Structure formats: C-alpha cells, structure tokens
Amino acid sequence: MNPITFDSFKAQREHEPRRRCFAQYPDIHPNTSGNPYFRPPFAEGIKPVFESMTALRLKRDMTDGHCFCYLNTPEELSVAQEWIVAQGSRVFLRDCLTCSIALSVNMKDVTTGEKTELGQMEYNAKTNDAEAAIESLAEHLAAAIADLPHYAAATLIVAVPARPGKTTRDLPTELAKRIAEKRKLTDLTPHFSYAGTREQLKELPLSERWAAWEGAKLTMTPGGAALLAGNPVILIDDKYQSGVSANFVAMILQQHGAADVYGLYAVKTMRDTDNT
C-alpha cells in the first residue's frame, strides 16, 4: 500500500470512474482478432481480489489506468465469468486503500429514494437502531470477509471511529465488535483516541471534510500501534460516501504501522460528491 496523504487522495478523486459493480458492467469484451479479454476500468482493489480468486493475472495499461487480461482458453473465460457472477452486488471502489469494497449501493433510484435490500437494512440500523438490521448487516459483512482472500487472512479489524462525545450507539463500532466476535478477530476500535474535536461530517461540504478530520487529531494508543505493526487490518464503516473518512482513517492506521488496509462497507451511496 502506497503512503496515503491528502494529496494522494485528492489525486485519486480526479480519476473516473471511481467505482465498479460487475453486475452492471461485466467488462468481458469480445476480440475480433483473437481471444476475449477482461478489462476493468482500474486496478485498485480489483486486481488483488481477482488474481487471488482466479489465479489469472491482470496487467496494467499505463496509458489509461485500466487493467486487463486475455482469456486464452474456454476454461479461463469460464473462470472469469464465474468470478464476475460471484461478486454479485459488490462495489469495488477506487481510492488509496489496499482494497475498498461495499456490499451494495444503498439506492435503486435516487429520484424516488427507493433503497436496495442492504440499503434499507443500513437505514434501519442507522436511523432506527434496529437490532435485527444491525445483526444482519454484521452477518453479511462477516460472510464477505470469509469469501474475500486478503480479508479472510486478516486478524485485526477496526471501525471508522465515532466523533468525540457521541452518546448514542455508533453503528460502525457496533458492526466491528460483532464481526470480531463472529470471525474471532482483534477489534482495535477502542484503541483510537481524539485530542481535538470533530464536527459532524454530513453537515460539511466535501472540501472541508479532510480538514475536519485533521482538527480532531485522531491517534492510536501504543498498545494498538503494537498490534498493528506490520499487519493488515480490515476497516469497517456502514456507508461509504465521498471516501474522506475511510481514507483519512486508513492514513492514521498506516502511520501507526498497518501494512495494508482492507476497507469493507455495508453500502455505497449512489452519488460520489455528497454536500458539494
């Protein structure tokens, strides 16, 4: 994982597209002069998962950021097609983490507000503190960890921490705790601490969110840093919006010794530019 900074995050946001759901765009293309090929629009997150689960190798196209592999036999074509189907509604996200994956988008239609199944589940868990929805989200996330090779090998998990002074139950914290119990992982969320204050990010325009995180002076206890040192960690959040929170917290984890940060989120918002 390359060093995460505000500049590297900002540079990533300049690239399009910033997400890929293979249920909508399978990205297998015919080739009139040879074999078909798989060509997703970016390598970040997709490449390590695809290669680990298929044993096929993706090459980077340095001219436009795509990656690709030729499917030279019917068997290779079948393996790629099966992998695409197996991803279901997952959304691969283009950011600075080693991998960033949401289980689904949160809405079917922004205009009507109709939610997906996981979107409704996340809404009920977040807005209504619905116990059944929280438990179901934790089960879905734990199942995804078991299915994704790099995630399955991690022994540490952490939630994007709640803002200082929050008194109600924090959904990401609760999800990380439950997933840790299901997967027998060490939950590092209690090792986070703030030396400053942080505004509610949903009230801020996108351009001010990174600065709000910096003002909170997020850090990790020496005990947490000792557990992180040289190890991968799974970062949990219920909703991925602009990516500011996940990338900032991943930067803090990296600064405290994390070798890789694998982001996993219940849902991705339909829009990438909230509160602009």
Spell out the domain ranges in the chain.
Answer: 6-19+89-268, 22-88
- Identify which has the larger pLDDT, 119 or 204: 119
* pLDDT for res 8: 94
Q: What is the mean pLDDT of residues 138-146?
A: 98
- Per-residue pLDDT reduced to its tens digit, 149-186: 999 999 999 999 998 888 889 999 999 999 999 999 99
* pLDDT for res 273: 59
Four-CA torsion 77, 150, 92, 10, nearest 10 degrees? -130
Residue 200 exposed, middle or buried by CB count within 10 Å (0-12, 13-18, 19+): exposed
- Per-residue pLDDT reduced to its tens digit, 66-115: 899 999 999 999 999 999 999 999 999 999 999 999 999 999 988 888 99
pTM over 0.95: no
* pLDDT for res 272: 64
How large a percentage of the chain has pLDDT more than 70? 98
CATH no. of 6-19+89-268: 3.40.50.2020
